[in-house]
Amino acid sequence: MPLEQVHEQLHLRHPKRSFVQYRLDRPGFITPIGHHLSTAMRYTCLIRSISSAGAVLSINRTLTLPENFYLEIDGVHDEIPCTEFKRDGDEMAVHFNMFLDTDFLNLVLGRRPAGQDA
């Protein structure tokens, strides 16, 4: 399940923004947002692809999650607020509640930020 559907919706609202999808295949963690914003549980997932607008995750198909949760990418200790967009079996497309900054996306992808020399 690619992110094209998420990107099409967002492109209508933000026509000057580019949404490039990158293959990632990296472990991640889902933290549901509970009552009074509690975060007691944490589940593993595989982040298949990512863009500045959202991601495609592989998760346990029997896992029941709230519509909103935090996504943490293994090795990057920032939580990204997400909303479920579409779920099909063990794959779930999410959109981020804020666009990812280009430098942060480069960090996730293991690239050097723009302007840094080797």
- 28 by Cβ neighbours in 10 Å (0-12 / 13-18 / 19+) ranks as buried
8 Å CB contact between 76 and 107? yes
Would you state the pLDDT for residue 116?
A: 61
The CA distance from 1 to 86, in Å, is 9
Residue 104 banded pLDDT, cuts 50, 70, 90: very high
Would you state the pLDDT for residue 16?
A: 63
Would you state the pLDDT for residue 26?
A: 96
Write out pLDDT tens, residues 58-77.
Answer: 999 999 999 999 999 999 98
User: Taking the domain 4-109, which CATH number applies?
Assistant: 2.40.10.220
- Which residue has 């863009």 as its token pair? 51
pLDDT of residue 9 exceeding 80, the answer is no
- State the average pLDDT over residues 17-31: 89
Q: Which amino acid is at 83?
A: T
Q: Which amino acid is at 28?
A: G
Mean pLDDT of the chain, nearest integer? 85
pLDDT of residue 36 exceeding 60, the answer is no
What are the phi and psi torsion angles at 117 (to 5°)? Answer: -90, 160
Would you state the pLDDT for residue 34?
A: 72
Would you state the pLDDT for residue 3?
A: 64
pLDDT of residue 112 exceeding 80, the answer is no
- Which residue has 């949404």 as its token pair? 19
